Copies of this chain bind each other. A is one copy, B any other.
Amino acid sequence: MASNEFAFIDRLRLLATDEAARGLDDDVAVIGELVLTHDMVAEGVHFLASDPPASVGWKLVAVNLSDLAAKGAEPLAALMGVTLRQDDEWAEKFLEGVAAACEAYGLALVGGDTIALPPDAPRVLGLTAIGRGGDVPSRSGGKAGDVLWLVGTLGDAAAGLELLLDDREAEGPLVEAYRRPVPQLAVGSMLAPYATAMMDVSDGLLLDALRLCTASKCGATIDLDAVPLSRAYVAERGSDRRNRLRAATGGDDYALLAALPSGLDPLGLSLPSGTILACIGTLTDGEGLKLFDAKGEVPLPEQLGYEHRAQNG
């Protein structure tokens, strides 16, 4: 996120005084039992012009569903805004990806808008996803002593993007993780009733954890060794301190970060088989993050997360 985005969002906050807005701190708005989120993906920022269009459609839906997952909400309906160019084939395949993700997660496409843009304009796709929520955890309810749990693995998508930037023809699980993130809906809905705070990790664990801490007015200690890495990630990059740090700051993970009361062990819940769930740290008094691994304290990297900057297509 560029600095003018921060400034803009600060101004937005002054506008978004309604209770439903949750101070814009929460990725979602809550109106009655409905949970609403709006995320965009843009060519050269969230996807590459060379990415298969069906994967872009999938990703647009999945990144929004990830926000619903982080609030334990069940997908209900979506409105989509699409910029079109002259090539029907791209849009057709894009829509196949949207359809596949909607089908996979029970999301009904109920409306939206299309705009025809000139051929040289980057594609911008937006989606408003609406879910039905029960207990909707915020980012701000975490308390010192709560345990931080992470659902999913980190770093895969950022590693996949790096492979693609090096070679647009790259393939494999890391590239797939970048192109087709999986929203953690089932686990999110099971953790939501217990979580004191929950959010999805989309901009890098360290950056997002710091956001959770700031909203919850506390600090956190995070065990870098506990951060779950996929086999593909370890095979590609290894699991030394440097590459664990890269995984914890990479972005585009769409994992879940949940603060749970210390007595509660989510491994005792009937989570879906194959769920990757790791205890990665605790919330503490004070503020800011402390990072350690088996060798001792780890200095915080200068960049805690992923900034969505334009990439060359």
Q: Which residues of A contact B (CB under 8 A)?
A: 1-2, 4-5, 7-9, 11-12, 15-18, 20-22, 24, 27-29, 31, 34, 36-40, 42, 44-46, 76-77, 79-84, 86, 88, 91-92, 95, 98-99, 102, 108-118, 121-122, 124, 126, 128, 130, 308-310
B116 touches A21 (CB 8 A): no
* B121:A81 contact, CB within 8 angstroms: no
Contact B15–A109 (Cβ < 8 Å):
yes
Q: Which of B42, B88, B114, B118 contacts A83 (CB 8 A)?
A: B42
Cross-interface CB contact of A122 among B44, B45, B117, cutoff 8 Å: B117
A37-B79, A79-B37 known; A117 vs B31 contact (CB < 8 Å) = no
- A4 contacts B113, C-beta separation under 8 Å: no
Do B81 and A18 have beta carbons less than 8 Å apart?
no
Q: Which residues of B contact A16 (CB under 8 A)?
A: 108-111
A1: chain B residues within 8 A (beta carbon):
114, 116
| Given A9-B114, A308-B116, residue A109 in contact with residue B21 (CB < 8 A) | yes
